[in-house]
Amino acid sequence: MTTECSDCKGTGTIVLEEKECPECKGAGKAKSVSLDRLSEKDIGSLLHGGINCARCGGTGKISLTELCRTCGGAGKFTTCEVCGKTIRGDLKLCETCSKKPPVYKLGAECDLHELGEGGIYAGTVQGHANFGVFVDLNPQLRGLIRSDNITTAPEIGEELFVEVKSIASNGNIELVPKQIKEYTLTEVEKQIPRSKTTELRNLTGKLVQISGEVIQIKQTGGPTIFTVSDEEGIVQCAAFQKAGERAYPEIESETIARVFGQPSVRNGAIQLEIRSMKQLRGRDAADIREGIEKAIDKRAEPHDIEFLVESEVLEKLRPGMKNVAKHIRKAVFKSRPIIIRHHADADGITSAIAIERAILPLIREVSGSDADRHFYRRSPSRAPFYELEDITKDLNFALEDQDRFGQKMPLVVLMDNGATGEDMPAMKQAAIYGIDILVIDHHHPDGSIDSMVLEHVNPAYAGGDFGITTGMMGTEIARMINPDVTEEIKHLPAVSAVGDRSGAPEAERYKSLVSGKYDSSDLRNIALAIDYEAFWQKFNDGRGLMNDILNLGSNIRHKKLLTLLCEQANKAISDQMEATMPNVRTQTLSNGAVLNVIDVENFAHKFTFPPPGKTSGEIHDRLCAKYDGKPVVTLGYGPDFAVIRSRGVRMNIPQMVRELHDEIKGGGVNGGGHLVVGSIKFVGGMRKEVLAKLAEKIGKAEVQ
């Protein structure tokens, strides 16, 4: 490959300084001319303004130059085809290699066009006959050494050098053995233009060359399947060594490789049958990688959309949302695995499913009909933050896929969690393994994790609060990724708003947007069914059931399932309230707030629906109705935790948690959430002190 000298820009000389031309004194025109020596062209120039000065060429300046020391005046560099050494000029071999006779090693893709009479080639003995020895020059080319040219018969499999004596018109190749002590071995590749993956369907049966990044390697019981990505798409390339044996073991994931082979159609998809495969290095690899990155970066640009509702907060968040959409689209186009981690409630699930519905068609389009099983996973988190248990599972899956299939480490998208210091331990583990993280959340952020993630979209950064739900942001981001899914997901923000009891103006706008299809009762039932099913799903994504609950499949099945799940959920809530409400203790605090306290460990059914958080919320709703117009706080506690629900009391739960941690030594207090809704953890032996101090802080908070 020839490159221009960067110092002299290919001229071979360096300009030291420029001076005024002494001949024309800087005018650039000749001072005197001899008319009898002028050509017709010169006369024309003279009539139109004068003849250029012969010494400076009309510039009026003389340049003082010296030979470029970097390239020695050659102006360019090439790479030795044998040893890879950089050479001044455009020579093919360096001085050392040019003094040794060349021996050519043919690539598996080469044919008679790359073979020349008189050339010396590396070959392997394939078999014996009465009239000579057969030698393979590559899998396509076989020649014959006649018996009269052999003194000692070589063994099958032995490597040797041969000279091509003649090539018959029918393609028969006659060889003679050569004994060479010093030589330069040159690998020969077939010179055919590079094809793009999108062109292969029109080139079936022909020998083609593609270059790209190996993004996945899968060993089957037969061939090895390499998935190769270039600027326009991906293609699966099959290489067969032996049944179940890894072909080209030197090729690893994320390698830039050149592949020669023949495209064919298998099960409706294009597959390249590999004839030869080679890792590219240096500038060749860098140029291919750079081209792929530029092309994918352009394709990954998100769609420009109008939001479904008017929102000043969402408009302020638009740049961050577009950045999230671009990162996700880029991961899809690079066939990088995507893991969506979300809180296991109506808001977290609707936000995650919105993104899921947007990216699954793109993943299948880019990487094949079953690609979502290899490049996508959605996992609920029981806690509203990225726990160590979560990252441990994600790492185990990712490392296993990397070991088995050579896949890249995933992009993790945290939805309805990920905004606070509680997420930091898991994020630090992710960083060690090269896992990138995006956060879309409406929990009150503390700023601690922002340096750990690619993007953190949070309404608190745009003057909003938790009333802008993750389901709202997730749906709009999904539309930036793939606007074709708008109609099927536009009711998800309304479901999330109801599920998270949003009081933001945007909540009413999203509800109004879908009021012709879903009334308030429908939205409440969907949110309740999601919470109920999520409880029983535990750590499974429940994709099919959740899709039916959200009416993303059969409308008939949606209605039947919703009726059944809501009936079961309401019965479970009724049973829980029957047990808990008589055991609620109520007192009025110094600021006038009504504090309701319930021991959910001893006065609620355990290990069933509703769980402690939902139980506390249901109690809170009933007490808000009872104490209409008054500020109300409900505190549901267990041996080492407390759940807080509030109306009309201006609290800052994350700040209260930090204060409790500092004030109660040995309490082990941590937690967080929204400003007025959240949870606290502590050590069981300090429960009394923590709850007393918490009630004191609630009593000092401003009420509305």
pLDDT at 40 over 60: no
Contact 616, 646 (CB under 8 A): no
Full DSSP string of 189-231: ----PBPPGGGGGGGTTS-EEEEEEEEEEEE-SSSEEEEEE-S
What is the spatial distance between Cα 403 and Cα 413, in angstroms, rounded to a whole number? Answer: 22
Closest alpha carbon to 241 in 224, 258, 262, 217: 224
- Please name the residues in contact with 600: beta carbons below 8 A apart, sequence gap of 6 or more: 580, 612, 615, 616, 636, 637, 638, 643
Instruction: Convert the pLDDT of each residue in 532-548 to its tens digit.
Output: 999 998 888 888 999 99
Would you state the structure tokens that stand for residue 673, as one six-digit string? 């959430």
Instruction: Convert the pLDDT of each residue in 676-691 to its tens digit.
Output: 788 899 999 999 999 9
Out of 14-18, 40-44, 465-469, 598-602, pick the least confident. Answer: 40-44
Contact 383, 613 (CB under 8 A): no
Q: What are the domain boundaries of the chain?
A: 3-67, 100-188, 197-299, 312-515, 584-703
Give 236: exposed, middle or buried? Use CB within 10 Å, 0-12, 13-18, 19+: middle
Instruction: Convert the pLDDT of each residue in 510-535 to its tens digit.
Output: 999 999 999 999 999 999 999 999 99
What's the farthest any 2 CA atoms get from each other in the chain?
Answer: 123
More confident residue, 245 or 69: 245
Instruction: Convert the pLDDT of each residue in 636-659 to its tens digit.
Output: 999 999 999 999 998 888 889 999
More confident residue, 95 or 522: 522
**C-alpha radius of gyration, the chain, whole number:** 37
pLDDT at 112 over 80: yes
Residue type, 260: F
pLDDT in the model for residue 32: 61
What kind and span of H or E run contains 475? Answer: helix 470-481
Fill in the DSSP letter of residue 406.
-
Specify whether the backbone of 666 is left (phi greater than 0), alpha (psi in -120 to 50) or beta: left
Number of continuous H segments (helices) and E segments (strands) in the chain: 18, 30
Fill in the DSSP letter of residue 419.
-
Q: Tokens 């139109």 label which residue?
A: 48
Instruction: Convert the pLDDT of each residue in 453-469 to its tens digit.
Output: 999 999 999 999 999 99
pLDDT band at 246 (very low <50, low <70, confident <90, very high): very high
What global pTM score does this model have? Answer: 0.76
Mean pLDDT confidence for 391-415: 91
Fill in the DSSP letter of residue 11.
S
Q: What angle do CA 311, 297, 438 make, to 5 degrees?
A: 50
Mean pLDDT confidence for 304-325: 97
What number of CA atoms fall less than 13 Å from residue 651's CA on the CB side? Answer: 32
197-299 shares the fold of 100-188: yes
CATH of 584-703, picked from 3.40.190.100, 3.90.550.10, 3.10.310.40, 3.90.1150.10, is 3.10.310.40
pLDDT at 222 over 80: yes
What number of CA atoms fall less than 13 Å from residue 413's CA on the CB side? Answer: 34
- Could you tell me the fold of the domain covering 100-188? OB fold (Dihydrolipoamide Acetyltransferase, E2P) (2.40.50)
Q: For 651-656, which contacts have Cβ atoms below 8 Å and span 24 or more sequence positions? A: 651/675, 651/676, 651/697, 651/698, 651/701, 652/444, 653/444, 653/677, 653/678, 653/680, 654/420, 654/444, 654/446, 654/678, 656/694, 656/697
CATH of 197-299, picked from 2.60.40.1120, 2.40.50.140, 3.90.740.10, 3.90.1150.10, is 2.40.50.140
- Could you tell me the fold of the domain covering 312-515? inorganic pyrophosphatase (n-terminal core) (3.90.1640)
Instruction: Convert the pLDDT of each residue in 188-217 to its tens digit.
Output: 888 899 999 999 999 999 999 999 999 889
Instruction: Convert the pLDDT of each residue in 554-563 to its tens digit.
Output: 999 999 999 9
pLDDT at 44 over 70: no
pLDDT in the model for residue 81: 67
Q: Tokens 């689209």 label which residue?
A: 329
